Amino acid sequence: MDKQKMAVEAEKRLTTPAYVFDLDRFHRRFQYLKENLGENMNVNYCMKTNPFLTRESLMDTDRIEVCSYGEFLICKELKIDPKRLLISGVLKKPEDMREIFQYCKDEAIYTAESPGQARVLQMVAKENHLFVNVYYRLHCGQFGMDENTIIELLGSEDYPNLLFYGIHYFTGTQKHKISKHAKEIKKLDEFFERIKGETGKEVLHLEYGTGFGVPYFANQEETITNPEGLREFRQLLMAMKWKGKISLEMGRAIAYDCGYYIVKAMDIKETAGKNIIICDGGIHQMNYDGQLRGMYKPHITVVRKKQRLSEKKNYAIYGSLCTTNDVLVSEFASEEISEGDMIVFERVGAYSVYEGMSLFLSHELPGIGFYSEEDGFVVVRKQQESYRINTPIYE
C-alpha cells in the first residue's frame, strides 16, 4: 500500500486523527501464521484486539473469541453465525447470558471461569433446555480455576447441561521466548493426563492463547513469530503425549502490523533548544504495548504537503492532551516537518483503536477507514464527538 496516497485519502475522507486498516495485509498475516503452524491447527481471532476487523476475520479464522456482552452485541449486529463464536470473558451475568443463549443456543462454545460461572451457565442452559459445549479455564492470575477445582467440577453431577468440551488456557501477552511456552505446554500435558486418570474423562480440545510477542519498534525483529519460531512452537505441541484438537487463540500477532494512525502536525516550536511538534492526536488514541513516555521509536512515515530537502532535525512529537505523559516519540530524526504535514504511525492494528483513554479531555473519536486492492479506501466510521458522553444530564 502506498502510505502517502493512503494518508492523503484518509485526510480527505475522514480528516485527522484517523485510523486506517490494510485488509490485504491483515489476511496475508493470517495466512502466514496458518501456513507455518500447520493445517491441523485451528487459529481463532480474539476480537478484543480490534473489533473493527471482526467480520473481516471470518475469511481466515475458525472461531471468533468474544470476551464481553458488548462484543457479543457487535457480533449479533454483524449477523455472525453462532457456530463461529467462542463466548469467553471472565464475568458472565445471567441477564446477559439469557440473551446470548437465545442467539447462540448450543451452536457456540462457552468458557467457565469458576464454579460460580459454571452455575450461571448451568442455570441459563437449563432454562433454555440446552446442552452446551463448555471449556473449563485453567488458572493464570485472576483467570480461570486451579487444577483441583476443575477436577472437582468434572466429578460433579451438578452441571448436567454443561458438556465438557476441553480446557482453555491463556497466561498473558507479549511473550517472546519459546521457553515460556515449553513450560506451559508441559504443564498442560501433565494436567490432561491427570484428568484422565482421576475422572476417566478425555480432554478432546485445547484452546490455547498463545500471547505471542510482536516487534513494535524500530530495530526490533520478530522472534517467536518468525518461521523458525513458529515451527519450533508447533513441534512442542506435536510432541505432547496428549493427542487432541488444538485451537490457537491470537489477536495481536495477527493484527498488529495492518494498522496506521494518522495525525497532523498542528503546532511546531523550538523551546530551550528542543524542536517540539504538537499534533492533533495523542496517547489516548494510540498505544504501543511496552512504550514508555515515547522512549522507543515506532515505525513512522511523514507525508509532507510539499517535498523539501533539508538537513535532518531531531523532533519530540507530543499529542494534544493536557498531561506531561502525552509523549508519542521523545526523539525522531527527520528532514524538516512543517505545520499541516501528516505523521503516520505504523503497526497500530492491535488494541490502539480502543484501548487508550479515548474519552480523556472529551476529544473526538477518530474516523476509521479500510483499504484493500479490490475495494480501495472504504470509510467504516466517521469522526465522532465524545463530549456528549462526558456531559451530565439534569432532569
Residue that is written with C-alpha cell 458522553 in the block: 389
DSSP run (H or E) holding 135: strand 132-137
**Exposed, middle or buried by CB within 10 Å (0-12, 13-18, 19+), for 349?**
buried
Residue that is written with C-alpha cell 505523521 in the block: 343
Give the closest residue to 197 by CA, choosing from 132, 236, 143, 147.
147
The low-confidence residues of the chain, meaning pLDDT below 70, are none
- Whether cis (ω within 30° of 0) applies to the bond prior to 17 is yes
Cα-flanking dihedrals φ and ψ of residue 327, to 5°?
Answer: -110, 115
pLDDT at 1: 75
CB under 8 Å to 272, separation ≥6 — which residues? none
C-alpha cell at 71: 462484543
Maximum alpha-carbon separation in the chain: 76
pLDDT at 55: 97
pLDDT at 40: 84
Distance, C-alpha 92 to centroid of its chain: 20
pLDDT at 320: 95
3-class DSSP state for residue 345? strand
Distance CA 118, CA 159 (A): 8
pLDDT (tens digit per residue) in 19-36: 999 999 999 999 999 999
pLDDT at 309: 72
Which amino acid does the sequence have at 51?
A: P
DSSP run (H or E) holding 22: strand 18-22
Q: Which domains does the chain have, with CATH numbers?
A: 24-256 (3.20.20.10), 257-381 (2.40.37.10)
3-class DSSP state for residue 17? coil
pLDDT at 317: 97
pLDDT (tens digit per residue) in 131-157: 999 999 999 878 899 999 999 999 999
Determine how β-strand 132-137 pairs with β-strand 313-318.
unpaired
